[in-house]
Structure 1
Amino acid sequence: MHRINRKSSFSLKARWALSSGKAFVLICLASAMLFISITLLNSDHPAAQSLMGLNNPEPTPNAATELPIFLQQQKASSAAQIEGLPNRSVISTELEQSDKPDKPEETPSVDERQAAEESNKPAHSEPPKNEEKAETKVETKPETKPEPKVLVYHTHNRESFFPELKKGAKDASSSTKNITNVGKRLSEQLTKRGIGTIHSKTDYPTTVKGFHYSYSYKYSKTTVAEVMANTESVDYFLDLHRDSQKWKKTTVGIKGKNYAKVMFVIGQKNKNWKENEKLALRLDKLLNEKYPGISRGVLNKGPGTGNAEFNQSLSPNSLVVEVGGVDNSFEELNRTADALAEVMAILIAEES
């Protein structure tokens, strides 16, 4: 049997007790430090906050260089995962948003935009040098009116038309709505066709002292003579009247529209009557060719029928023109005035 060494046994017990005591002391120290830390953390005292570093502002990290190590590692890991892929991971976007804004996938890259802009540039970015745009200079000539060729006047200027007067009028006469309105229309249409025209609207009952209807041609003769004396270029003298006949006699339908008929009157009590008649026949023919039935023809009046002179002795190109009758409207009369202007322009052009 072995003997028990009492000294060795005591030594072992002493070392175990010493180790246990150290452990106990360490545990107590750790507990004390934990208690002190909690106490300081909950304390409002400036010294405690200074000791714990709570009142020291944190330095602002550089987003590009001072990211926490685990985030930098995560960024590198995510970048490796999405390389070559069209879509980005959430963590990759979060790390990059401080450097550049998010862009939708359809937004072209800078290189793509530059390539597109280059392809859309014009062949020459600058206009060629020494090529100045030539200025087109238009020389404006002063407007010249054609010389008067026609005189339109009215011996019986108050001859009017029932459709244009008040209902119930007994006399087709008016100081305003009368044959001078038709003469105005004829003059305007001749002018539009390049035929210079003078239009006399003289109201003889008010301008002639002691006016008497029987002397009407005497009054109008002074108008013609005055124009002839002052305007040598006038070659044609048209004295416009209206006939006393009724509507059926003085109206014709042409292509669905009504026209007032025309009749030419020649006074044989003058030396020029044959020349006057010749002119009237030409106009009669031209009118009926273009507007069938619009002209009633030429009426000759001999020495024993009224005036029979009609101022036609003043010019071989002087005519009395009866336009419409008492029942025609201005609408019908104006159509005829337009037609007469048309054929007059043709005739004058042929004789020029």
Structure 2
Amino acid sequence: MVNNGSGKTPVYHSSSNIMEFENSIKNYFELNSIRPYLISQLKNNNYDLVIDLHRDSAKRDISTLKYNNETYGKLYFVVGEDNPNYSSNKTLANNISTKLNELIPGISRGVIGKKGDHVDSIYNQDLSKNMVLIELGGIENTQDEINRTISVLSKAISVVLQ
């Protein structure tokens, strides 16, 4: 979340980035009985859900949804098709995406599978069968829009896991 001083939207910044939402994510997820976990714990523990959170590079017209006079940052899920957990990762992502769109129609842009040349196609999803990679909002979404989306995301995940 950096100011636009040059007429171009800044995307990368060492301290003003998606991590600004760390407390918001923790609070909303704890409100819905979900606790964030460190990836380093994956080798020794089993978790219900592991989230790899990213910010999409899409412009505002693609990354923003207006619903009931509020705006939200749209999100979508990426599943690496060349990882051994592809099927379970995709099912979990589809379930969360469906629940999101039941709560706020159109907030999820769906699930995208990726494989082939010049594509990661695993995205660390080989580490857990319960892992989702989420592209949350875009480079032009506001902090308020992302916070509203995180609130809906945490509710959707809570319902799916229960």
Same fold by TM-score greater than 0.5: yes
1:99-144 deviation per Cα after TM superposition (whole angstroms, max 9, x unaligned): xxxxxxxxxxxxxxxxxxxxxxxxxxxxxxxxxxxxxxxxxxxxxx
Superposed displacement of residue 264, structure 1: 0.2
Matched, 1:189 2:3: no
Superposed displacement of residue 193, structure 1: 2.1
1:159-200 deviation per Cα after TM superposition (whole angstroms, max 9, x unaligned): xx4xx32422553111222112234322221112222323x6
Superposed displacement of residue 308, structure 1: 0.8
Tell me the residue number matched to 2:10: 171
AA in 1 matched with 2:130: N
Choose from 272, 276, 295 the match for 2:89: 276
Contact 1:266 1:301 (8 Å CA) reproduced: yes
| 1:36-75 alignment runs, 5 A limit | none
d(CA) in 1 for partners of 2:47, 2:136: 22
Superposed displacement of residue 305, structure 1: 4.4
AA in 2 matched with 1:333: I
Quick check: which one's helix share is greater?
1
d(CA) in 2 for partners of 1:190, 1:233: 18
AA in 2 matched with 1:174: H
> 4+ runs of 1 displaced by more than 4 Å?
none
d(CA) in 2 for partners of 1:328, 1:264: 18
Tell me the residue number matched to 2:142: 329
Matched, 1:320 2:133: yes
Contact 1:264 1:297 (8 Å CA) reproduced: yes
1:193-237 deviation per Cα after TM superposition (whole angstroms, max 9, x unaligned): 222323x6xxxxxxxxxxxxxxxxxxxxxxx2x21245x252311
- Tell me: CA distance 1:278–1:323, structure 2 relative to 1, closer, same or farther (3 Å): same
RMSD after superposition: 1.7
1:33-83 deviation per Cα after TM superposition (whole angstroms, max 9, x unaligned): xxxxxxxxxxxxxxxxxxxxxxxxxxxxxxxxxxxxxxxxxxxxxxxxxxx
Tell me the residue number matched to 1:142: none
Matched, 1:348 2:161: yes
Tell me the residue number matched to 2:117: 304
d(CA) in 2 for partners of 1:300, 1:267: 6
Tell me the residue number matched to 1:228: 42
d(CA) in 1 for partners of 2:124, 2:43: 15
d(CA) in 2 for partners of 1:171, 1:196: 31
What is the percent sequence identity of the aligned residues? 30
AA in 1 matched with 2:112: L
- What residue ranges of structure 1 are gaps of 5+ in the alignment? 1-160, 201-223
- Aligned residue pairs total 161
Tell me the residue number matched to 1:103: none
Q: Which has the larger radius of gyration?
A: 1
Tell me the residue number matched to 1:106: none
- Tell me: CA distance 1:233–1:316, structure 2 relative to 1, closer, same or farther (3 Å): closer
Superposed displacement of residue 241, structure 1: 0.5
Contact 2:42 2:127 (8 Å CA) reproduced: no
| 1:51-200 alignment runs, 5 A limit | 161=1, 164-168=2-6, 171-198=10-37
Contact 1:301 1:308 (8 Å CA) reproduced: yes
Q: Secondary structure at the match of 1:196?
A: coil
Q: TM-score, normalised by structure 1?
A: 0.44
- What residue ranges of structure 2 are gaps of 5+ in the alignment? none
Superposed displacement of residue 276, structure 1: 0.7
AA in 1 matched with 2:42: M
AA in 2 matched with 1:181: E
1:266-314 deviation per Cα after TM superposition (whole angstroms, max 9, x unaligned): 1111111111110111011100001011000111101324111100011
Q: TM-score, normalised by structure 2?
A: 0.91
